[in-house]
Amino acid sequence: MIRLDKFLAETGTGTRSEVKKLIHAGLVTVNGDAGTSPEQKISPEADIVCVRGENVTYAAFEYYLFHKPAGCVSATEDAVHRTVMDYLTDTVRRDLFPVGRLDIDTEGLLLITNDGALAHALLAPTRHVSKIYYAKVAGTVTAEDVNLFEKGVDIGEKAPTRPAALEILTEGEVSEILLTICEGKFHQVKRMFQAVGKEVVYLKRIAMGPLRLPDDLPAGAYRPLTAEELAALKAQKRGNL
C-alpha cells in the first residue's frame, strides 16, 4: 500500500504539493470515488486512480535504452548543458537517472532507470561488467597496442588498467577500433590511447553487459527494454553472467 500523494508524485502527475492541491480540489478519484486525503492508502496494482477523469498509470520501475548523442551530459540536471534526461519526454516515473556516465562528446548506449539496486550491480567495480566502444583514433593502431592493452595500460593511477580487448578494424592515419573494457575510470578509453601516443577523435559505446545498441535507434532516441533485455540484466544483477 502507498499514500495517494506519493503515488501521484511518483507517476509524474506533479510535485507532492501540486498533487495535494488536486486531491483537495476533488480532481482525483480512487475506484470512482473522490480521494479522501493525500494520506489515503491505495494499492497501485488493484486500485484505479484517475486525475480529471484520466487513468493514471503506475510503474514501480522503468527501464529505457537510450542512444546518447554528443553534446549532452549524463546527469539528471545541469545549469549549463542539456542533459540526457531532457530527451525522455513520455516516461511514467519522475525519479529516473542514467546508469553511469558518458563524456559530453561521447555517443552511445546508456541505460536509464530508477532501479537503484540494478544500477549498483552494473556499476560496482567488483562486478567487472564489460563495455564495448567503437572509436576513431588519430594514428595507426598496431599489434603492439593490442598486446599492451591486453596486459593493462598505465594511465597515471596507482595501478594499470585491467586487461582490455582491442580489435583493429582499419589501420591508417585515422584507425577504427573496437575496445572492450570491464571498468569505468574517468576518461578511460581516451587516456588509454593517450598512453600509447594516440588521440581518440570519435567515441561511441555500443554495448554494456548484455545490452547492445540497436542499429535502428538514432542518436537522441530511446525505447523501453525488451523482456529479453530486462531478463538478461537481472541475470547480470544476480551475477550469473
User: Catalytic residue among 47, 78, 86, 103, which?
Assistant: 103
C-alpha grid cell for residue 61? Answer: 520501475
Full DSSP string of 38-84: TT-EE-TTT--EEETTEE----S--EEEEEEPTT-BSSS--SSSPBG
Residue at grid coordinates 586487461:
163
Q: Is 103 among the residues known to form the active site?
A: yes
Q: What residue type is assigned to position 190 of the chain?
A: K
| Structure-block grid coordinates of residue 235 | 541475470
For residues 87 and 90, give the distance between their C-alpha atoms in angstroms, rounded to a whole number. 9
Alpha-carbon Rg for the chain, nearest whole angstrom, is 22
- CA atoms of 102 and 81, how far apart (whole Å): 14
Number of C-beta neighbours around residue 56 at 10 A: 16
DSSP state of 85: G
Helix (H) or strand (E) holding 98: strand 97-98
Cα–Cα distances (Å) from 133 to 8, 180, 184, 202, in that order, read 39, 6, 12, 10
Catalytic residues: 103
